[in-house]
Amino acid sequence: MKEYAIITFKPINKKVVVRKGTDLLTAMVKGNIFITSSCEGKGVCGRCRVKILKGEFKTEPTGKISENDRKNNIFLACRTIILGNIEVEILPETLLTEKEIKEKRLFARGEEFHLAEVPLKEIYPFSPLSQKYFLRLSLPSLEDNVSDFERICRELKKYKGEKFECETDLPTLRRLPALLRGSNWEITTTVVEKHNRKEIIIVEPRDNSRRNYGVAVDVGTTTIAASLIDLRNGENLKTEISFNKQSSYGEDIISRIIYAEKGEGLETLHHLVCETINELIQNLSENCSINLNDITCIVCSGNMTMTHLLLKINPSFLRKEP
């Protein structure tokens, strides 16, 4: 543990372990501790102020910290490098609460608008990306000796119509022989549409058709919201909201684009948004008591910059002419 350091955050009594040489702001993001910061850690906004109670650290001089602040051991988290175990006090005026995070999401879009005259169901009819079907397959015989996959497709036509055609991938095909015979030819198939083609993506033993869920994710600049949807009826079971961990590297999209241009910046921002989404999905799974394997599709939306960072596509040219 010599190359690692333990940071104790007061008054929340939370400990975070990081490598020595890590800046304090990055350590806070790792520990899901969010404070005000809008300059992507450049030290120019002066908002990520913390009080160092004790420990080994070094900090760069900055005009954003007064002489009186320094006497009181108040420094910028983004300019403070951890050299050993330290104890840090989070100042009340900088810590973002859950309530503040939710309020930022609710009001970030400005004026609200409503579709009052036409019901949303008429504009957006329920059309899930994945559907599950429980199938009781006929047993193979000398008179009915079609392939295992063809037997599944033939049964699916009873639900989807005679013109229904589908495909699957090689790993699924490899599992079919043992799976069908081990489940007495009773299976659940998950069918999705990809590029106007139907594909069987999951084959499960026995009847699991009543457990099919999707997650709709709103990747916002400040916060990320994820809703768990029952794909049988479109019911929104629960919504979880979290602070977008990318915000510690810039509150606006331009700051994040600039950060993404530096070294491992794009990889860092991509990792942070994926980590935030994964934590939201894990919370939805636990709070609704569902198996993660029963989530069969995810849809994400966001502005152009957030979409680029989510997909780890270089966003540099979004801010440059033309």
CATH number of the domain enclosing 77: 3.10.20.30
CA–CA gap between residue 304 and residue 242 (Å, rounded) = 20
CATH number of the domain enclosing 313: 3.30.420.480
CA–CA gap between residue 200 and residue 180 (Å, rounded) = 15
The answer to whether residues 39 and 161 belong to one domain is no
The answer to whether residues 196 and 219 belong to one domain is no
The answer to whether residues 254 and 285 belong to one domain is yes
CA–CA gap between residue 291 and residue 210 (Å, rounded) = 12
Backbone φ and ψ for 15, nearest 5 degrees, come out as -110, 140
- Confidence check: pLDDT of 220 > 50: yes
Q: How many domains does the chain have?
A: 3
- Segments forming the whole domain that contains residue 79: 4-95
Residue 197's H or E segment, with its range, is strand 197-205
CA–CA gap between residue 289 and residue 283 (Å, rounded) = 10
- Confidence check: pLDDT of 149 > 70: yes
The answer to whether residues 117 and 160 belong to one domain is no
User: Is this prediction's pTM over 0.85?
Assistant: no
Cβ-proximal residues to 170 (8 Å cutoff; 6+ apart), any chain: none
The answer to whether residues 257 and 114 belong to one domain is yes
The answer to whether residues 112 and 68 belong to one domain is no
| Confidence category of residue 284, pLDDT binned at 50, 70, 90 | very high
Instruction: Kindly report, residue by residue over 100-112, the tens digit of the pLDDT.
Output: 555 444 433 333 4
**Amino acid, single-letter form, for residue 132:** K
Under DSSP, the state recorded for 252 is: S
The answer to whether residues 224 and 311 belong to one domain is yes
Last residue of a domain, which of 205, 232, 265? 205
Q: Would you state the structure tokens that stand for residue 24, as one six-digit string?
A: 């304090």
Q: Which residues of 76-106 are buried (b: 16+ CB within 10 A; e: fewer)?
A: bbbbbebeebbebbbeeeebbeeeebeebbe
The answer to whether residues 221 and 315 belong to one domain is yes
Average of per-residue pLDDT across 82-90: 93
CA 166, 169, 170, 172 dihedral sign is negative
The answer to whether residues 37 and 71 belong to one domain is yes
Answer yes or no: are the C-beta atoms of 72 and 51 closer than 8 Å: yes
CA–CA gap between residue 230 and residue 125 (Å, rounded) = 15
